[in-house]
Structure formats: C-alpha cells, structure tokens
Amino acid sequence: MSQIDVVKENLIGLNRPELSETLIRLGVPKSKLKMRVEQLWNWIYVRGCRDFWDMSNLAKEFRDLLAQNLTLEVPDCKVRKISVDGTRKYLFKGDNGHEFETVYIPEEGRGTLCVSSQVGCTLNCTFCHTGTQAWVRNLTIAEIVGQIMAVRDDLNEWPKEGSTYKSEQRLISNVVLMGMGEPLYNFENVRDAMKIVMDGDGLSISRRRITLSTAGVVPGIKRAGEEIGCRLAISFHATTDEIRDKIVPINRKWNIATLLDALRNYPRVTNSDRITFEYVMLKNLNDSDEDAHRLVSLIRNIPSKVNLIPFNSWPGSNFERSTPERIANFAQIIYNSGYPSPVRTPRGEDIMAACGQLKSETERLRRKPVSVK
Ligand code: SAH
C-alpha cells in the first residue's frame, strides 16, 4: 500500500472549495488561502501552466511544496490524426491506461471540440460505432476538462502573458458533449467539469457555447437544465416508438412521448436557446416524407432546430446513408414547417472522426489484477 502514499493529487478537476481544502492540508494559512486559490486557478485555467516551477509569482518554497505534493495532469495524447479537411482526432490515454477519443472541428469563424464522457457506452444504438464497444467506465472530471486543455496545448491556444481574447477569435470556441459515451449517465462528473469550463475567470467558455447531447435519459434532462444550464441536443433519429425502440434502445425505457414532455419542460428552452434534434439519415428506415411530417408534428411547440446527419458508415455496420436527394427533400419539409434543418457535413471521415465513428480499443475492465513486474 505504500505506493498509494506517494500518489500526488491532481489539481486539475478540483473546484475552488476543493482546491482550498487541498491547500489547507498543505499548511497554507487561512489569510492567504483566497489569494493562493486565485493565483493557481489563473495559472492552470487561464494560462495553461502545467509546471509549478513556471508559476513565477509564487515564492520558491511554495512552488517546491506544490511540486512535491501535487500534479497538474491532463490525459496523454497517444495518437493524433489530421483529416484532409483539418479535423483533428485525438486518442487519449487516461487513468489505468483506458483510451478515449476527442475530435476538433475547425469551421469558418469558430471551432468545436467534441468531448467524450465515458470509455465505451452502455446504450447500444445500433447505427453507432461507439455502441459496439462495451462500456468500461465514466471519465473523471480531470479527464473531461483535460480533453479541452490538452487540445488547447496542441493548438497552441493559451493566451500569451497579459493578453486576453474574445470567444469569437478562439480556436476552441464551442464544446459539444457528443463524443464517446452518454453524458447524462456520468452526470456529476460532466456537470462539475462543465462548471470549470464555464468559469469566467478560467477557460471561460459560456454555457451557450456548450451543447450536451443525450440519447434521451429523461431524469437527467431536467437536472442538466437546472444544474448545468447548457444547451441540449437530443439524438432523436426516429419518429415512431416502433423504429426508435430498435435503433435507440433507451427508447424502451423512456419513449418518445415521455422524452418530448421532458423537453417541453427543459428550463432553458427559449427561442434563442433552442433544443437541437439530431436525426441520422438512414436509407429506407427513417427517411421518408411521412417521417419528416411526423417529426415536425412531434416537435411542434418546442423551440428547436433539426440537425440532419447523413449516416457515417463504419466496418461491420448494417445501415446505408440516405441519398442526397432524399436528405434534401426531408430537410425541405422540415424547413417549410418553420424549423431550421441544416444537413451536417460529415467531417473527418477519412480518419474515422465523424459522428458515431469513435471507438477505442479499450475493452471492459478485466477482473484480473494488472500484473506488476
Ligand atoms: N450518447 C450521446 C452522445 C453521443 S453524440 C447521444 O446519443 O446523444 C453522437 C451523435 O452522433 C449522436 O446523435 C449519435 O446518435 C450520432 N451518431 C451515432 N452514430 C452515428 C453514425 N454512424 N452516423 C451519424 N451519426 C451517428
């Protein structure tokens, strides 16, 4: 057990009160606590500092104390792939060597980071590659916040000393919880991570630039509205329970009517904070004109937009993408009914970074203890 004694506490992922407690344990006097927390917070989340020795406004002895007892660790990037369209996919290694993926999507005037919340997924949506990977574990707060920090490192996006910048100029201006996993099944860690990400004196990404995507974990939807306050996207994908039961199996637990009820009551729904309905276009399965009309009547009275996602194929998948004409007709019906209906251009397909293509090799945690040489 002596090994555990030497494990240094990772400061990344702690909120301010937790950071205070840690500093109290290290003997920081109460009178200096607030200042020390602010200094550290600034170094970590404004400047992206990862080495206590670089924190030049702290006394040498204090830096030494920090370095001996604490660390600043973000997930390790094992592989980075860059698509011809500029999309970047990162394979990260977190605690225990578990792997997960993050995707950076640069666009005109903005850049979106697609963040994972779990290693693997429990949901088994039949058209999703991640769904074929067994659920392994929830990501920690540090691993969730750390994805943003590590990609900022890679993009060299930490502001130089003394400079500030506006959200619109940022490389990572938006965050979507649309990577591996179901964020509402890792609620506390996702919430606490997003609170750090939204902190105005830190990473400072506003709640309106954060979108949490769920397949429809109804009890979590209300909590997300109350406790996170970010935008919401729903992986809807079908207009009848019969089809949705098959392709998004969580529908058997919370069906379409129950889900829509939760959305009508989502505390944040206004016209400027609309809900996004994601709808994967699957040939001859959910892409008919009747589906489009049904979709519109289901979401009526919910301020929303519909994101149409052409199905992205992966090895072993049994679905086909709808034709461009079908997608265009479908989009037109929704648009004519008064809802924006953009068709999402697949990004990073050549590096398997598009929606639903993420998967890591990490399989379910083995019961066997890891052998130590
Ligand atoms: N579990 C959450 C977060 C994942 S978001 C959720 O379901 O919302 C990833 C989005 O990509 C979801 O809308 C998902 O349904 C969609 N998706 C999954 N597989 C896809 C595929 N092969 N092609 C296109 N979109 C896919």
Instruction: Give the CATH number, domain containing residue 48.
Output: 1.10.150.530
If asked whether residues 289 and 354 sit together in one domain, one would say yes
For residue range 70-95, list pLDDT tens digits in order: 999 999 999 999 999 999 999 999 88
Q: Examine the domain organization and report whether 114 and 150 are in the same domain.
A: yes
Residue 166 pLDDT greater than 70, yes or no: no
pLDDT top residue among 208 and 134: 208
Cα 279 to middle of ligand 1, angstroms: 9
Secondary structure (3-state) at 147: helix
- Give yes or no for residue 173 CB within 6 A of ligand 1: no
Looking at the predicted structure, is the pLDDT value of residue 366 above 50? Answer: no
Residue 272 lies in a domain: yes
The mean pLDDT value of the chain amounts to: 91
pLDDT over 80 at 270, yes or no: no
| Pocket residue to mutate for ligand 1, from 119, 125, 128, most atoms within 8 A of Cβ | 128
pLDDT digits 0-9 by tens, 64-76: 999 999 999 999 9
Q: Are residues 171 and 320 in the same domain?
A: yes
* 88 and 226 housed in the same domain: yes
pLDDT in the model for residue 49: 96
Give me the catalytic one of 73, 99, 101, 143. Answer: 101
Mean pLDDT of 176-201: 97
**pTM of the entire structure?**
0.92
Q: Lowest-confidence range among 25-29, 97-101, 269-273, 319-323?
A: 269-273
Ligand 1 mean position to 260 CA, how many Å?
18
Whether residue 131 is predicted with pLDDT greater than 80 in this model: the reply is: no
pLDDT in tens, 297-343: 999 989 999 999 999 988 889 999 999 999 999 999 999 999 999 99
- Closest alpha carbon to 73 in 150, 186, 176: 150
Say if 372 falls within a structural domain. no
281 phi/psi in degrees, rounded to 5: -90, 110
**Where in the sequence is the domain holding 175, given as residue range(s)?**
76-366
Q: Which amino acid is at 231?
A: R
Mean pLDDT of 112-122: 95
Statement to judge: residues 177 and 252 lie in one domain: yes
User: Which of 71, 90, 114 is the last residue in one of the domains?
Assistant: 71
Shared domain check, 276 and 189: yes
Q: How far apart are CA 104 and CA 111, in angstroms?
A: 7
Same domain (yes/no): 50, 181: no
Q: For the residues of 135-196, what is the DSSP string, one character each?
A: P-EEPPHHHHHHHHHHHHHHHT-SPPTT----GGG-SS-EEEE-SSS-GGGGHHHHHHHHHH
Q: Partners of 275 in the beta sheet?
A: 304
The reply to whether 233 and 311 lie within a common domain is yes
264 and 286 inside one domain: yes
Residue 357 CA to ligand 1 center (angstroms) comes to 8
Instruction: Express each pLDDT in 311-322 by its tens digit.
Output: 998 888 999 999
31: its two tokens? 């009178």
Q: Is the CB of 117 under 6 A from ligand 1?
A: no
Take residue 213 and report the two structure tokens written for it. 């995507």
82 and 19 together in one domain: no
Residues 85 and 44 in one domain: no
Is 31 within a domain?
yes
pLDDT at 159: 80
Residue 259 has pLDDT above 90, yes or no: yes
What's the confidence (pLDDT) of residue 367? 36
Distance between CA atoms of 104 and 175, rounded to whole angstroms? 9
CB 351 less than 6 A from any atom of ligand 1: no
Pairwise CA distance, residues 110 & 44, whole Å: 24
Q: Is residue 149 part of a domain?
A: yes
Q: Are residues 15 and 111 in the same domain?
A: no
Token readout for 356 is 């639903």
What band does 160 get if pLDDT is binned at 50, 70 and 90?
Answer: confident
pLDDT at 373: 28
Number of domains in the chain: 2
Quick check: 80 and 88 in contact, CB under 8 A? yes
**Cα 233 to averaged position of ligand 1 atoms, centre (Å):** 10
Q: What integer pLDDT is reported at residue 68 of this predicted model?
A: 96
